[in-house]
Amino acid sequence: MDPYGDAEGKEINVRFLQADSVRANFIVQNFNLETANSLRRVMLAEIPTLAIDVVEVLDNTSVLADEFVCHRLGLIPLCSKGVDDLLYSRDCDCDGYCENCSVVLTLHAKCTGNEIMKVFARDLAVSAGRPNEEVGNPVITDAEGQGSCIVKLRKGQAIHMRCIAKKGIAKEHAKWAPSAAIGFEYDPANKLRHLDYWFEDDPKKEWPIDEERVNLDGGPEQEDQEFDYDAVPSRFFFDVETVGGLDPDQIVTLGIKTLQTKLAQVIHELRGGGDNADGQDFGGAQSPQMNGGGFGGQDAGYTTPYGGGNASVWGAGNPAQGSTTPYGATPYGGAPPSW
Ligand SMILES: [Zn+2]
CATH code, 237: 3.30.1360.10
Report the alpha-carbon angle 96-246-17, nearest 5.
160
Residue 161, amino acid: M
Kindly list the distances between the CA atom of residue 223 and the CA atoms of 50, 226, 229, in Å, as whole numbers in the listed order: 52, 9, 17
pTM: 0.74
Distance (Å) from CA 276 to ligand 1 centroid? 23
What is d(CA 178, CA 171) in angstroms, rounded to the nearest whole number?
11
For residues 212 and 316, state if they share a domain: no
Q: Residue 49 pairs with which residues in a beta bridge? A: 168
Distance (Å) from CA 97 to ligand 1 centroid? 4
What is d(CA 65, CA 49) in angstroms, rounded to the nearest whole number?
27
For residues 160 and 105, state if they share a domain: yes
Cβ contacts of residue 88 below 8 Å, gap of 6+? 48, 101, 166, 167, 168
For residues 89 and 169, state if they share a domain: yes
What is d(CA 201, CA 224) in angstroms, rounded to the nearest whole number?
23
**Domains in the chain: how many in total?**
3
For residues 6 and 100, state if they share a domain: no
pLDDT of residue 260: 95
Distance (Å) from CA 100 to ligand 1 centroid? 5
Residue 295 CA from chain centroid, whole number:
37
Distance (Å) from CA 60 to ligand 1 centroid? 27
pLDDT in tens, the chain (339 residues): 444 545 556 788 888 898 899 999 999 999 999 999 999 999 999 999 999 999 999 999 999 999 999 999 999 999 999 999 999 999 999 998 999 999 999 999 999 999 999 999 999 999 988 988 999 999 999 999 999 999 999 999 999 999 999 999 999 999 999 998 899 999 998 889 898 999 999 988 999 888 999 998 888 888 888 888 898 999 999 999 999 999 999 999 999 999 999 999 999 999 987 655 444 444 333 344 444 433 334 444 444 444 444 444 443 444 444 444 444 444 444 444 444
The conformation of residue 274, written as its DSSP 8-state character, comes to T
Distance (Å) from CA 58 to ligand 1 centroid? 22
Distance (Å) from CA 127 to ligand 1 centroid? 15
Tell whether the torsion through CA atoms of 135, 137, 139 and 142 is positive or negative. negative
Distance (Å) from CA 218 to ligand 1 centroid? 53
Distance (Å) from CA 162 to ligand 1 centroid? 16
For residues 16 and 74, state if they share a domain: no
Distance (Å) from CA 90 to ligand 1 centroid? 8
**Any domain includes 307:** yes
Distance (Å) from CA 104 to ligand 1 centroid? 12
For residues 236 and 319, state if they share a domain: no
For residues 66 and 93, state if they share a domain: yes
**Any domain includes 226:** no
Distance (Å) from CA 91 to ligand 1 centroid? 8
What is d(CA 170, CA 49) in angstroms, rounded to the nearest whole number?
8
pLDDT of residue 261: 94
Q: Pick from 168, 175, 183, 58: which is nearest to 109 by CA? A: 58
pLDDT of residue 11: 83
DSSP secondary structure, 102-138, as one string: EEEEEEEEE--SSS-EEEEGGGEEEPS--SSSSTTPB
**Any domain includes 196:** no
Domain range enclosing 149: 49-176
**Any domain includes 225:** no
**Any domain includes 139:** yes
**Any domain includes 281:** no
